[in-house]
Structure 1
Amino acid sequence: MDPRIREHASLLVHEALELEEGDDVIVRVPDVAEDLLVAIYEALGDVGANPVSVSGSARAHRAYMRSHDGEFELPDHEMALVEAADAHIHVRADENVTETSDVAPERNAAYQQARRPILDERLTDNWTLTQYPAPANAQLAEMSTEGYENFVWDAVNKDWDAQEEFQAQMVEILDGAEEVRIVSGDTTDVRMRVADNPTINDTCKHNVPGGEVFTAPQPDSVEGEVLFDKPVYQQGREVLDAHLHFENGEVVEHSASKNEDVLTEILDTDDGARRLGELGIGMNRDIDQFTYNMLFDEKMGDTVHMAVGRAYEDTVGEGNEQNESAVHVDMIVDMSEDSRIEVDGEVVQRNGTFRFEDGFEE
C-alpha cells in the first residue's frame, strides 16, 4: 500500500475528527477506494473506535433511482443509524463520474428533499469529507493516474499549521466586516452583508483537503449578478456558465449555456435553494489547477465560491437567520484577472493576489 494512503487515513482519524476509544463511526467509502478504507480501519483500531462501513456504489444508486417511482420517503432505518453514530467519514471516489447522468434531475431533487433530515442530523455530529484519487477522477481532471495521485496527496498531506496561519490573515479581515463585494470583469458584481456571522478558517477538519475561509451571507442581503465561469459538475452532468441574478437575496433569473435544466432543478429543490448559504474564498496555493472536483477546486487561491442552499450552522451568528435547504451546491468564480474582493469598501484581493501577499497592487 502506498504510504501516503496511511498518512491520509491518520489525518482523517487523528486530526480531522480527533476520534477516541468507544466512538461509533460510520465510514462511507466506494469500493474503488478500498485501500483507503483498510487504512482508515487500521487507524480506527489504533484508537479503539467502533466503525461500520457503508458502501457507496454509484451503479446501485443509479439502478435504484431509475426504477423508483419518484415518491421518496425518509428511510427510518438509515436515520436511526445516523442518529446512533458519533462521527462520519465520507470518502469520494468514482469508477465512472457520469454513472448517474441518465437519472432525471427532478428525481434527484426529490430524493435529496426526502433525505434532508438525515443530512441535518449528520451535520450536527463530528464529520469529515475527503477524496481518494481514483482513475475516473483522474480522467475527469485530464490527468494521468499517477499525476492525479500526486496532486491529491500533495494537497491533503501538508503542513496544516502553516496553512492555518496564512488563512488567519483573511479571517481577521472578514471578522467584524459588514459587507463583501465580489467583482469580476463585466459579468459579476454582487454584494452581500456578513455582519455578525463568524468566519471559519478551514484547514483540515470537515473538508480534507482544506484551504479556504468561509462565512454565510445574510440570506435576504444578496444583490447583483454572478457568472460562475468555472464548470459545475452535478448529478453526473456538466453545467457551464451558470448565471444567477439576485434581488433581496433571492435568485430571480438564472441561465446556463449547458444543462440549464440541472441548474433549474437545483434552484427549485426548496425555497432555500434560491438563496446563498456560503461565501468562500480559496487560499490553498498547492491546488493550482481545475479538476472538476469541488472539494479541491473551491480551494484554489485565485477563486471565490458561493453556494446556493444550506448555510452551515457555525457560520451564522446568534440572532441571525440561517438559510435552510436540502442542498448545498458550490459554484466558482475565477478571480485571477480583472477581479477584486472588497470588504467594507476596501480592496483586499486584486486579480487573485491578497493584500497581505507580495505583488498586491493597490
Structure 2
Amino acid sequence: MTDPRITKLAENLINNALALKAGENILIETTDTPDEVSTELIKAVEKVGGNAFVRNSKSRVRRQMLLSASEAQMKVEAELALAEMKKMQAYIAIRGADNFMENCDVSDEKMLMYRKMTKETLDYRVNKTRWCVLRWPNASMAQGAKMSTEAFEDFYFQACLADYPRMGRAAQNLVNLMNKTDKVRLVANGTDITFSIKDIPAIPCCGNMNIPDGEVYTAPVRGSINGVIHYNTPTLYEGKQFSNIRLEFKDGKIVDATCETGDNAQLNAILNTDEGARYVGEFAIGFNPFVNAPMCDILFDEKIAGSIHFTPGMCYEEAPNGNNSAIHWDLVLIMRPEYGGGEIWFDDKLIRKDGLFVVDELKCLNPDQLGK
C-alpha cells in the first residue's frame, strides 16, 4: 500500500509547485527512489491531462558512466538531453542518495568536463521551464541528519508539506524590503562582509521551486562584495565534502579560499571551473520553520531557519547580476545563537539578529509564527 503522504506530495508538486496544465509535457527524473514515487507523480500528471516522461536512474550506475565516458560521449549525451529538455514545459527531479559520497573518486577533470558539457541543458531547464527539485528520504539521509529513519521520514514530510501559501504571504514583506535595499552587511563569527543588492529583484521561493522551500533570494551587484565570510555548515559538492569554508572577497572576486575539513586543492579546483565561479550569483535568506539543523544536503540546509546562503557561481535570470558559470554552489551560514549568532543589516539598519527578524513587518517569518 502506498504511503498516503507520497500521494499528497506528488499532487502538491504537480498541482501547486509546477501548476501543470493539460497538454503540457513534464520530464520526471528520479535517482535512487522507490517506484511509488514515479507512479504517483505519473498519476498526478494524468489527472491534469499532462504528459509525463520519466527517467529513472541509480547513482552507482551514474558514477560508472562518469568514470567511463569519453569527452565525445559526454557531448552526445548533452546534446540529447538538451533536445529532450526543449520539448518540456516543466521538470521535476527527485534525488535519493544511497551513498552521498558515490562520486568522491570521480576525478576533478571528469567532473569539470561534465559540468561544462551539461551547462546548456541546466541553463535551459532553470530559465525556460517550470521546475522543482527535491530529495527523497532514506537511511543515508537520516544518518546524515543524526535521526532514525522513521523520525527522519516524519520530519521530511512535515518540511515538504509546509503551509506554503501562508509562507508566501509572509515572505512578501521581506521581498518588498529587499527591493528597496542597497547595502547589505553580514556579521558573524569569522564573517564581516558587505555588498550591494541595488536594483536586483528579490524573488520569493515558497513551495514553487525546491522542496522543502522557504527563502527569498536576490544577487549581489557583481563587483560590490568586500570582506570575509566563514560558512559554518558542512557541504557536499559532487561527492566531495567540505566544512568551515572561508572565502575572502575583493571587489566581488574570491581572492582566497580555504576549508578546515576537505581538500583545499579540490575546493579551489571547483572555484577555478571558469571565471564566474569566483564571483557570487545568489544571496538568499532562509526561513523554513521545520528545518533547523544541517544535514549536509544543500536542498535542506539552504532553507534552515535563521540561515543565509551566499552562492559562488551562476546567477538566476529572475535576479540577474551578469555572472555566468557552470557551477552554482549554495554555501550556508547559520546565524542562530547555538551556531555562534550573527546579524543582517540593510542600509545600516539591523533586520535580523541571531536568526530572528527584529523588524516588526518581518516577525511573521520567525519560526514561532510560521511554524504554528
Partner residue in 2 for 1:19: 20
**Structure 1 contact 167–283 (Cα < 8 Å) conserved:** no
CA 1:210–1:68: 2 relative to 1, 3 Å: same
CA 1:137–1:312: 2 relative to 1, 3 Å: same
Counterpart selection for 2:297 from 293, 300, 318: 293
Counterpart selection for 1:89 from 75, 88, 92: 92
Counterpart selection for 1:258 from 240, 247, 261: 261
Counterpart CA distance in 2 for 1:269 and 1:204 is: 31
**Structure 2 contact 112–273 (Cα < 8 Å) conserved:** yes
Superposition RMSD in Å = 1.6
Counterpart CA distance in 2 for 1:354 and 1:197 is: 22
Partner residue in 2 for 1:221: 224
Q: Shift of the alpha carbon at 1:172?
A: 2.3
Counterpart CA distance in 1 for 2:135 and 2:45 is: 18
Query: Is the counterpart of residue 345 in structure 1 residue 345 in structure 2?
Result: no
Query: Is the counterpart of residue 138 in structure 1 residue 142 in structure 2?
Result: yes
Partner residue in 2 for 1:331: 331
**Structure 2 contact 33–94 (Cα < 8 Å) conserved:** no
Q: Deviations over 1:145-183 (max 9, x none)?
A: 111111111001121122112222322221111111111
Counterpart selection for 2:273 from 269, 280, 283: 269
Counterpart CA distance in 2 for 1:296 and 1:33 is: 20
In the TM superposition, 1:296-307 aligns within 5 A as 296-307=300-311
Counterpart CA distance in 2 for 1:322 and 1:5 is: 39
| 2:323 match: secondary structure | coil
**Structure 1 contact 133–148 (Cα < 8 Å) conserved:** yes
**Structure 2 contact 100–239 (Cα < 8 Å) conserved:** yes
TM-score, scaled relative to structure 2: 0.91
Partner residue in 1 for 2:181: 177
| 1:84 match: secondary structure | coil
What code does the residue aligned with 2:114 have?
A: Y
Q: Deviations over 1:191-237 (max 9, x none)?
A: 11100111111101111111111101111111111111111111222
**Structure 1 contact 32–95 (Cα < 8 Å) conserved:** no
Counterpart CA distance in 2 for 1:77 and 1:232 is: 31
Q: Shift of the alpha carbon at 1:69?
A: 4.5
Partner residue in 1 for 2:105: 102
| 1:278 match: secondary structure | strand
What code does the residue aligned with 2:104 have?
A: S
Where does structure 1 lack aligned partners over 5 or more consecutive residues?
A: none
Counterpart CA distance in 2 for 1:157 and 1:270 is: 37
What code does the residue aligned with 1:37 have?
A: S
**Structure 2 contact 248–255 (Cα < 8 Å) conserved:** yes
What code does the residue aligned with 1:324 have?
A: N
Aligned length: 354
Q: Give percent identity, aligned residues only.
A: 29
Counterpart CA distance in 2 for 1:105 and 1:306 is: 23
